[in-house]
Amino acid sequence: MFFLYLREWIEVFGSKNIHVLRLEDWKSNPINELERLIKYLELDPLPTETLNSIVSRNRKNVNARAKKRNMTMWPSTRKHLQTFYRPWNQRLSELLKDPKYTWGY
């Protein structure tokens, strides 16, 4: 349902003034995402050592409680959530002109 908020923010601030970063992209390639963010903010590039230092820091709020309990989502719950969010994600994908925001479902 990010679509609802982003649509309004884009109307007010313009799409060039909003940078969207997906957690999945950050987790799969944090240095690339950090470099994209730095470029978007028009900051000077950082040395590789600094980028590595930033992305290798200990993470906070990583849902350790759920990991400790070995909690997983039921397949039926995942299916219901995907069904509910599918139209919103499609709209988000169209708004941002990027198919990755459908999350493949």
Among residues 3, 48, 6, 12, the alpha carbon closest in space to that of 30 is found at 48
In this predicted structure, what is the pLDDT of residue 58?
82
Report if residue 28 sits inside a domain.
yes
Predicted confidence band of residue 82 (pLDDT cuts 50, 70, 90): very high
Q: What's the domain range around 88?
A: 2-59+74-100
**Token pair for residue 75?**
């397949």
Domain count, the chain: 1
Burial class (CB in 10 A: 0-12, 13-18, 19+), 14: exposed
Among residues 80, 77, 85, the alpha carbon closest in space to that of 103 is found at 85
Residue 9 has pLDDT above 80, yes or no: yes
Report if residue 64 sits inside a domain.
no
pLDDT in tens, 32-65: 999 999 999 999 999 999 999 999 988 777 776 6
pTM score of the predicted model: 0.80
Residue 71 has pLDDT above 90, yes or no: no
Report if residue 18 sits inside a domain.
yes
101 contact partners, CB below 8 Å, separation of at least 6: 22, 89, 92, 93
